[in-house]
Structure 1
Amino acid sequence: MKKLLLLCFLLGSASQWIVSQNKVDSLMQQLKSEKETNKKIQLYIDLCRAHIAHDYETSKLYAQRAAALAKEVDNTFGLAQSYSCEGSLYNYYQQYIPAICILEKAIALYGDNQFLEEVGYDNLQLANSYKNIGNYATGLERAFKANDIYKKLNNQNGLRRVSNLLGSLYRYLGNYDKSIYYYSKSLEISELQDYQPGMAAALNNWGLVHKLQGNNELALEYYARSGAIEKMLGDKHGIGIYYNNVGIIHLESNRLDSAFVYFKYALALREETGDEKGKANVYDNLGDYYQKIGNLKKAEEYYIRCIELAKKLHLVRLESVAYKSLTETYEKNENYKAAFSAHKRFKQLSDSLFNYNKALEYMQLEMQHQKKEDLALSELKTQRERFIYFIVIGLFLILFMVFMIMIQKQRSRSIYQKLRAAELEKKQKKINQALERKNKELVSFSMNIAQHHELCLSVINKLETTIGSLKKDNKPIIQNIINEIKSDLNHSSWEEFEVRFLQVHQSFYDNLMSQFPSLSQNEKRLCAFLRLDMSTKEISSITGQTPHTINVARTRLRKKLNLANTDVALNDFLISY
């Protein structure tokens, strides 16, 4: 049965290759007979795309030929397309810095208001590149640009892809609420389109978020839903991802036998589909498994396999992780010489990752410098053309002088407006910094309240424990002390917090109560904490209430604020008051 499945897979792969080769042959035939330059450019770009997945050098050659030809005939759109295609190639082979540089050039050539489909796609590619080098802020910026374009075009496929990417970016940033929000949007669009691969991807990513939040059982539930779709589709790559993810949870939960089985299934599928990157990841996981069961020789073997494959594929981050694990294995085996050598390599790779991001910064600076030089050359060329033009039409010299004076005045006005805007921005920045400082002081004061509550509660507990052993005459005195401390807990700390809060946010309560007059005192207090962007855990520490009680209060508050059936976060809503 296994041989039959393997044969079917090989036949399927072969048929795909034949279709691909037929397409390449057809494009080559058209290229030989084509005389029009602009059509040749498009054929070169199509050939570049056709070779991306299996021939790096040939694909790059066709992209460069398209670019050279586009420059010759001043075809800006063709040049932008050739850059976009080359960027796709670099992304496919995980060369993210060259991908970023060339895609930035492509977007600059397309312009802001033209070719929106192409600009949206390249922004999506850029966001993915920035995500993979760890520059999540810029990745978000590019992803939201793509999102705006796809909304304008009502492109549901683009919105589905960009929502999934936004979910991943927020996941890496640790903002799990927003991560789930965007994964759910991607899932919703996939369900509307009945696009099964999109549903599987969104559910799998949702599972990753639950795993990061420590909810392994819920993560397994989402993995299972994703895996069921992949199995229905017969997508062996997706099934391999499912088995690997489930294996990791079983490994972390010390269900070692089942973890090993899942990793073996994942490895078999990745070997069958030729997924080299996936194989490297499974090797690393198998190394972790063998280290956990104490088979250090096997752990060493799989870590070395992972390192060799990661090095071949230029997966620097994975190679670095594997070297770190290999160091621990050698140390446990008391092979300190090998451990020192592995740790040294781990440090080299860590440094190279740091330098990788620095190289991107330098390349970006170089691109900015090049843009300035191009702009300066363009301005110089314009000035020369104007000079020649005004010599030829000397009769209009006086008009030209008046025109230049008007331009100078406009420039002066523009400079003044920019300076004024900069000054206002500086003032606003100072105000914002002061407000942020005050908010931090409020949060710090709130934590002091929590510590004060904990201390008082500790004293009350000790007094209540010992009151039974005291003389009858002393018991009322101690009880009065306990009552006074409890009274202080209920009133004075909150009153002092409220005074400090209103010093920073003077009109918060007035604005809030004018719109929602039915809010109780406790709900007003909860609003104040949420206005400071405090988490449920922090509010629980301050008020002495359980997180469950806080969550119930938040739900009731959402109803009172008319947010029950919306996706609007409470802290985002309250920040406007």
Structure 2
Amino acid sequence: MKKLLASLFVLLCFLNSYSQDLQKIDSLKRLLNLSKEDTSKVSLLIKLTKANKNNDIASAYKYCLEAINLSKKLKYNKGLFKALTGEISLIRIEGKDSLALEKSKRLVQFAESTKDSFNIAAGYLTLGGVYDNNGDNRNGVAYCLKGLSIAERMNDRGLLQDAYAELQRIYFSRSEFDKAIIYGQKAIDIAKAMGDKGRVMIQSYNLAQTYNLTKAFDKSIKISNEVVEMAKQAGDKRVEVYALYNLCSINLRTDKLSDALTYGKRCLAISKEISDKSIQSNVLAALGSIYLQRGQNKEAENNLLEALALRERTEDKQGIADVQNILANVYFAMGQPEKAYAFEKASEDFSDHYNQSILAQQSSDLEKKYETQKKESQIRLQQADIRQKNILNYVLLGGVLAILIISLLGYRNYKHRQKLQQAKIDELETEKQLTATEAILKGEEQERTRLAKDLHDGLGGMLSGIKFSLNNMRENLIMTPDNVHAFERSIDMLDSSIKEMRRVAHNMMPEILVKYGLDAALKEFCAEIDRSGVLHVNYQSVGMQNADIQQTTSITIYRIVQELLNNAMKHANAKNVLVQLHQSDQEKLLAVTVEDDGNGFDAELLKQSGGMGWPNIKNRVDFLKGRIDLQSNPGKGTSVMIEINI
């Protein structure tokens, strides 16, 4: 419920700062029909965008795009900035956070190009809010504080109000509710001083929601009821439905299920009326929770499935996981464990993947940042050394101008040293790139190893323990034939899960590679693909019996062969593949050859390809300081040969 409330808080912060009634919209339309193709028409289109986005988002998009196109045509930067900001607002209302982030970055670039302080501050605030929507709280706070700093220098109350509102929302999403309440009250005070009832209404709602999550329910109920009345007077159904949803959530959290159900049904009716899919999905999820607690499992299932469908359309991954978790509880209550476990697993998989990806990304970023800064510092020192030596050489050259031979020798010495220093810089640049690549590859393999170990030792042990417990239970239970059949089917499904888990763990970090080396691991990998029937793989190795290859090198070569075979299966439509591994003790050389009889392709097309497979292979070969040769033509298959000094 807290996550659902947080998503609504996000949406309300960029709703229209003032409400428009239908009469004003009609008046703006009449003025639009009479207007000429000038800046005043742009202003009318922007006003119509704001007036419609709370109740008719399709019309709001129409007017917004017209404003953007006309502003570009007139080269009217002020109108273009406002129209682009309005477009981002509409995208955020629809929950398309990735697209909103891309548009917001472009908005800031445009604002900075205009050198207009107001536009820059507003752009920073918009970008900060969108960063937070995408889960990047750090950048969210940073950009909002940059915007606040400019607003304070300008002493612009509107910008200050926007900055306080965004900071309130971000601190709310970070669960720093004390700060959220402080900034929220500041936003309300400025809105009242400005006489802006729309902003007072919206910020009051946000404050009510914050009080809800801090369990100050009486304050939250009082403010929410005030917001409902303000929204009705302003004709703003979107704010009205959000305030009603807050009242629904309070009653749900305080176990007043009948009142919660009443508010929930009112919310659902209004959200359908205004076609707000985001609030509609949240209300459906809340109704699912209410029905579940009331024991009305079928009604809970219907509402939650509808909420899930809406969130899948908006690609709200976190929202999907939340609904899947509630659905799991519903199916447990309905006595359908298979569906329950499926939804529970899907929800847990998302949470695990999200947490692991965040940690891995943070670790990788820190490592790359450290290595990059280290190399950049060395480069700066070398460059400083070059500058100092250049000065010294010039001084010496000026002192011996009278002697031609000494002057020529000095100049030659200067040039020679300069080349040496430049060579050192180039070497450091190359070293920096290799170090960054090494850090990425090591981080990737460490994460694969850790995940494989966790899967095998953690999840594998748990599944095996569950199977052992179920087998023991079977000996002590008296079951009907149908139950015996269902029990046996569950055991089979558990066995399949254990096998699949082991297969995934093996692919992430093959145990045979660590224990028996590269030759045995590649032989087993090729044999496994051959046994699957997808591709006939012939593996040959020469001189690998007593090969002593470092584990890092072995893992990297193994990943390269994996990627090449994967390409042969996915893209080449090959039937036969030859994999050769040859070590020459005399030349201290390890050669890897992968040939297939697939479709082949024009090798020049790889330079234009946007895929990650071939660049990953080249990066790994560069990391090993090896050489790679690709031979391929359409209809003649593909041959890749890699040579690595060992």
TM-score by length of 2: 0.45
Alignment-derived partner of residue 311 in structure 2: 310
Higher relative contact order (CA 8 A, sep 6+): 2
Give yes or no for contact 1:45–1:66 (8 Å, CA) kept in 2: no
- 2:37 counterpart SS class: helix
Give yes or no for contact 1:44–1:66 (8 Å, CA) kept in 2: no
Task: Give the Cα–Cα distance (whole angstroms) in 2 for the partners of residues 307 and 14 of structure 1.
Answer: 33
Which digits, 9 at most, give the CA deviation of each residue in 1:268-312, with x for residues without a partner?
Answer: 232333333222211111111111011111111110121122223
Give yes or no for contact 1:330–1:338 (8 Å, CA) kept in 2: yes
Task: Give the Cα–Cα distance (whole angstroms) in 1 for the partners of residues 227 and 147 of structure 2.
Answer: 26
Give the CA deviation at 1:331: 1.4
Alignment-derived partner of residue 339 in structure 2: 338
Task: Give the Cα–Cα distance (whole angstroms) in 2 for the partners of residues 343 and 270 of structure 1.
Answer: 28
Percent identity over the alignment is 18
Alignment-derived partner of residue 219 in structure 1: 220
Alignment-derived partner of residue 141 in structure 1: 142
Give the CA deviation at 1:23: 6.8
Alignment-derived partner of residue 194 in structure 1: 195
Give yes or no for contact 2:164–2:184 (8 Å, CA) kept in 1: yes
- 1:197 counterpart SS class: helix
AA aligned opposite 1:219: S
- 1:30 counterpart SS class: coil
Task: Give the Cα–Cα distance (whole angstroms) in 2 for the partners of residues 350 and 97 of structure 1.
Answer: 19
Alignment-derived partner of residue 171 in structure 2: 170
Task: Give the Cα–Cα distance (whole angstroms) in 2 for the partners of residues 79 and 194 of structure 1.
Answer: 27
Give the CA deviation at 1:120: 1.7
Give the CA deviation at 1:15: 6.3
Give yes or no for contact 1:63–1:85 (8 Å, CA) kept in 2: no
TM-score by length of 1: 0.50
Question: Higher strand fraction: Structure 1 or Structure 2?
Answer: 2
2:121 is aligned with 1:114:
no
Task: Give the Cα–Cα distance (whole angstroms) in 1 for the partners of residues 44 and 206 of structure 2.
Answer: 36
Alignment-derived partner of residue 58 in structure 2: 54
- 2:135 counterpart SS class: coil
Give the CA deviation at 1:167: 1.2
Task: Give the Cα–Cα distance (whole angstroms) in 2 for the partners of residues 197 and 357 of structure 1.
Answer: 38
The RMSD of aligned alpha carbons is 4.5
Task: Give the Cα–Cα distance (whole angstroms) in 2 for the partners of residues 82 and 223 of structure 1.
Answer: 31
Task: Give the Cα–Cα distance (whole angstroms) in 2 for the partners of residues 265 and 100 of structure 1.
Answer: 33
Which digits, 9 at most, give the CA deviation of each residue in 1:199-226, with x for residues without a partner?
Answer: 2222322222222223323322332333
Alignment-derived partner of residue 127 in structure 1: 128
Alignment-derived partner of residue 210 in structure 1: 211
Cα 1:185–1:256, aligned 2, differ >3 Å: closer, same or farther? same
Task: Give the Cα–Cα distance (whole angstroms) in 2 for the partners of residues 344 and 283 of structure 1.
Answer: 22
Give the CA deviation at 1:263: 1.4
Give yes or no for contact 1:66–1:82 (8 Å, CA) kept in 2: no
Task: Give the Cα–Cα distance (whole angstroms) in 1 for the partners of residues 231 and 85 of structure 2.
Answer: 31
Task: Give the Cα–Cα distance (whole angstroms) in 2 for the partners of residues 85 and 358 of structure 1.
Answer: 34
Task: Give the Cα–Cα distance (whole angstroms) in 2 for the partners of residues 341 and 323 of structure 1.
Answer: 9
Which digits, 9 at most, give the CA deviation of each residue in 1:389-410, with x for residues without a partner?
Answer: xxxxxxxxxxxxxxxxxxx9xx
More displaced 10-residue stretch of structure 1: 75-84 or 287-296: 75-84
Which digits, 9 at most, give the CA deviation of each residue in 1:23-59, with x for residues without a partner?
Answer: 77667x738xxxxxxx899799969969983169868
Give the CA deviation at 1:159: 1.4
- 1:290 counterpart SS class: helix
Alignment-derived partner of residue 157 in structure 1: 158
Unpaired segments ≥5 residues, structure 2: 1-19, 366-417, 419-646
Q: What are the within-5 Å matches in structure 2 for residues 4-15 of structure 1?
A: none
Cα 1:21–1:341, aligned 2, differ >3 Å: closer, same or farther? farther
Give the CA deviation at 1:127: 1.6
- 1:54 counterpart SS class: helix
Give the CA deviation at 1:329: 0.6
Which digits, 9 at most, give the CA deviation of each residue in 1:431-460, with x for residues without a partner?
Answer: xxxxxxxxxxxxxxxxxxxxxxxxxxxxxx
Which digits, 9 at most, give the CA deviation of each residue in 1:498-522, with x for residues without a partner?
Answer: xxxxxxxxxxxxxxxxxxxxxxxxx
Task: Give the Cα–Cα distance (whole angstroms) in 2 for the partners of residues 132 and 215 of structure 1.
Answer: 25
Give yes or no for contact 2:42–2:71 (8 Å, CA) kept in 1: no
- 1:111 counterpart SS class: helix
Cα 1:40–1:46, aligned 2, differ >3 Å: closer, same or farther? same
AA aligned opposite 1:107: V
AA aligned opposite 1:325: I
Cα 1:354–1:273, aligned 2, differ >3 Å: closer, same or farther? same
Task: Give the Cα–Cα distance (whole angstroms) in 1 for the partners of residues 82 and 232 of structure 2.
Answer: 37
Question: Higher helix fraction: Structure 1 or Structure 2?
Answer: 1
Alignment-derived partner of residue 256 in structure 2: 255
Task: Give the Cα–Cα distance (whole angstroms) in 2 for the partners of residues 240 and 161 of structure 1.
Answer: 22
AA aligned opposite 2:300: A
Alignment-derived partner of residue 229 in structure 1: 230
Give yes or no for contact 1:79–1:106 (8 Å, CA) kept in 2: no
2:290 is aligned with 1:289:
yes
Unpaired segments ≥5 residues, structure 1: 1-11, 32-38, 365-407, 409-577
- 1:254 counterpart SS class: coil
Q: How many residues align?
A: 343
